[in-house]
Amino acid sequence: MITVEINSVDVTDQIEQRTLQVTQNLTYQVDTAFFNVRKGGSKTLVPSYGDEIEIYDGSEKILGGTILSVNITPIAGAEGEFFVVNCVDRTYEMDKLMAAKTYEDETIEDIIADLVTTYASAFTTVNVNSTLLIEKIVFNQVPLSVCIKRLADTVGYDWYVDSDRDIHFFSKDANSAPFGITDTNGNYVYNSLNRVVDGSQVVNTVKVRGGEYNGNTYSDQITVSGNNTKSFKLPYRFANLTVTLDTGGGPVAQTVGLDFIDDFTSKDVLHNFQDRMIRFETALSSGDIIAFTGNPKVRVFTIAEDPISKEAYGVIEKLIRDGTIESNAIARRRASAELFIYSEPIIDAKFTTYTTGLRTGMIMTAQSDIQGFEEELMIKSLTFKMRDHDNFQYEVSLVSTRRYDFITLLQQLIEPDAQPSDENETSEQIYADTQVVTVQEEYEVVAPFEDEEDITVSENYILNPLGAGVDALYTLSPYTPSGQLDTRRPGRLGISFRVY
């Protein structure tokens, strides 16, 4: 029996026949689903982004998640619409917040529990199983799924979040399928089994070059030569650096700060970790003695080999560069995991079945006398397709555990390179400070009124300023009279005077 619920309401009868398809991808990868809805008449369902979706195969919930997108097309009828609905699993909900945390000397179980409590409190960690101690790991503004995947890669584990929001973190060989397939047990559609054997990725000598770890304590001293130097080179990049200075009266401990972060108002000497240098505020004197102690940063490097594979195929080497590995113990574990994955040829297979109970990530035994093989394979993807209104058929893609990790490696190639952590790296907590600002203005409104005033206007005229019957002297050139009593005026042809 197939059941589809949106926001806890059964809408199975509103889904278009044979359009529902659910794809469970390999464990930590996001599961997806899509289906069509036709609105009109008695069918009134209008799916929307953010609606909660749950899909059941019988009593088993095969997908729980969120509607991510809806493509809407008008159709005939006053209110007719056609919806193409795309859904994703709980990972989308879990990744809404970015993690910014630093952990030192904590187990993977404790790290995942703290991450979930801090950034995804609606989720649980009932099925997280790993007591491996992590020396140091920094998550700086990354989704929670990326944090868990980095932890899984460290120990060669796998993980996924189930439809009920519980995180599963487990050994890859600990998740067995409820049944296997043979030529005669009827667990797959006849002639649907197809198999590919690939030896192109065989490797039997793995070298891992990682980041850096703190070496044994190292001490030395520098005797100053000359009177003009205030910067001094160190032989290594140091963690936990301490410095003393002897100017003739015995060694005096110096407070050490970070170059370009601290200054000399509170520190005696500034340490540049990347450039392996310390500097003082003023030049020291010839004969002064600088003594320093710290833990040199040592490059992680290890090698692992598989003698049986070397004898069978000859020496085939591989170099792994991973700056996030900061201990030789973890590097050896990573090299051993690579050998387990690639020391033998890898196998792919696929088949179709009507038998329920499978889940991606499960280990299944596949045996065939007809094809002459018997292998343990992992379910890489599982696609549920509606066979009729009540039943699914299942298309199963299988992969050897070696091929599975090769796929993971290829996916990492398109991700940004991991940046090596330095001694001073810390996670960044970024907060938005939202404030409401109220602006108030006051206006004084004056009531209008009538104001009547009497205004007297007077003019002053001077008649005959030059005297009665006395005419002015007109000039042909431009002229400005100096006053009313000036007898000169500018003349105008045809008005003031004429030329004969």
Tens digits of per-residue pLDDT, 312-362?
Answer: 989 999 999 988 888 888 888 888 888 877 888 877 889 999 998 888 878
Lowest mean pLDDT among 49-63, 354-368, 452-466: 452-466
Packing angle of the helix pair 144-155, 328-342 (nearest 10 deg)? 80
Does 474 fall in a domain? Answer: yes
pLDDT at 121 over 60: yes
139 and 247 co-located in one domain: no
Six-digit token string for 450:
């009538």
Does 403 fall in a domain? Answer: no
| Predicted confidence (pLDDT) per residue in 140-165, tens digit | 889 999 999 989 888 878 888 988 99
334 and 216 co-located in one domain: yes
Count how many residues are written for the chain: 500
The domain that holds 100 is classified in CATH as 3.55.50.10
The domain that holds 19 is classified in CATH as 2.30.300.10
Question: pTM (2 decimals)?
Answer: 0.55
**Closest Cα to residue 380, out of 352, 358, 361?**
361
- Looking at residue 485, its pLDDT comes to 75
Total domains in the fold of the chain = 4
End-to-end CA distance of the chain: 126
- Looking at residue 417, its pLDDT comes to 40
110 and 74 co-located in one domain: no
- Looking at residue 402, its pLDDT comes to 58
Cβ pair 61, 38 in contact under 8 A:
no
> Could you tell me the residue range of the domain that residue 330 belongs to?
200-344
- Looking at residue 384, its pLDDT comes to 94
Helical ranges in 280-431 per DSSP H: 307-313, 328-342, 401-413
340 and 221 co-located in one domain: yes
84 and 98 co-located in one domain: no
pLDDT at 462 over 70: yes
- Looking at residue 203, its pLDDT comes to 92
67 and 111 co-located in one domain: no
Q: Quick one: what percent of the chain has pLDDT higher than 70? A: 91
Q: Where does a domain end: 344, 374, 394?
A: 344
Cβ pair 309, 202 in contact under 8 A:
yes
327 and 219 co-located in one domain: yes
- Looking at residue 201, its pLDDT comes to 81
- How far CA 33 is from CA of 263, 341, 349, in Å, comes to 57, 31, 23
314 and 235 co-located in one domain: yes
Q: Where does a domain end: 121, 155, 171?
A: 171
- Looking at residue 422, its pLDDT comes to 44
Confidence of residue 174 (pLDDT cuts 50, 70, 90): low
Does 487 fall in a domain? Answer: yes
| Predicted confidence (pLDDT) per residue in 299-308, tens digit | 999 999 999 9
**Closest Cα to residue 401, out of 345, 447, 322, 446?**
345
Does 55 fall in a domain? Answer: yes
56 and 110 co-located in one domain: no
Does 6 fall in a domain? Answer: yes
Q: Quick one: what percent of the chain has pLDDT higher than 90? A: 49
- Looking at residue 435, its pLDDT comes to 77
Cβ pair 242, 235 in contact under 8 A:
no
- Looking at residue 158, its pLDDT comes to 82
Six-digit token string for 270:
């500034």
- Specify the 3-state DSSP secondary structure of 251: strand
pLDDT at 33 over 80: yes
Interval 450-479 mean pLDDT = 78
| Predicted confidence (pLDDT) per residue in 189-237, tens digit | 988 888 888 878 889 999 999 989 899 999 999 999 999 999 999 999 9
Cβ pair 23, 381 in contact under 8 A:
yes
Lowest mean pLDDT among 9-23, 263-277, 409-423: 409-423
Does 260 fall in a domain? Answer: yes
- Looking at residue 344, its pLDDT comes to 81
Does 241 fall in a domain? Answer: yes
**What secondary structure letter does DSSP report for 12?**
G
Alpha carbon distance 97, 146 (integer Å): 12
- Looking at residue 408, its pLDDT comes to 54
241 and 337 co-located in one domain: yes
206 and 293 co-located in one domain: yes
- Looking at residue 445, its pLDDT comes to 78
Cβ pair 163, 61 in contact under 8 A:
yes
Identify the residue with better confidence: 112 or 336.
112
Does 214 fall in a domain? Answer: yes
pLDDT at 413 over 50: no
pLDDT at 458 over 90: no
Identify the residue with better confidence: 458 or 384.
384
| Predicted confidence (pLDDT) per residue in 237-253, tens digit | 999 999 999 999 999 99
Who's near 76: CB < 8 A, 6+ residues apart?
A: none
Q: Where does a domain end: 344, 366, 392?
A: 344
Six-digit token string for 387:
């066979």
- Looking at residue 428, its pLDDT comes to 47
- Specify the 3-state DSSP secondary structure of 283: coil
Amino acid in the structure at residue 375: E
Mean pLDDT of the chain: 86
Interval 412-433 mean pLDDT = 45
Q: How many CA atoms lie within 13 A of 417 on its CB side?
A: 7
298 and 228 co-located in one domain: yes
pLDDT at 447 over 90: no
Confidence of residue 500 (pLDDT cuts 50, 70, 90): low
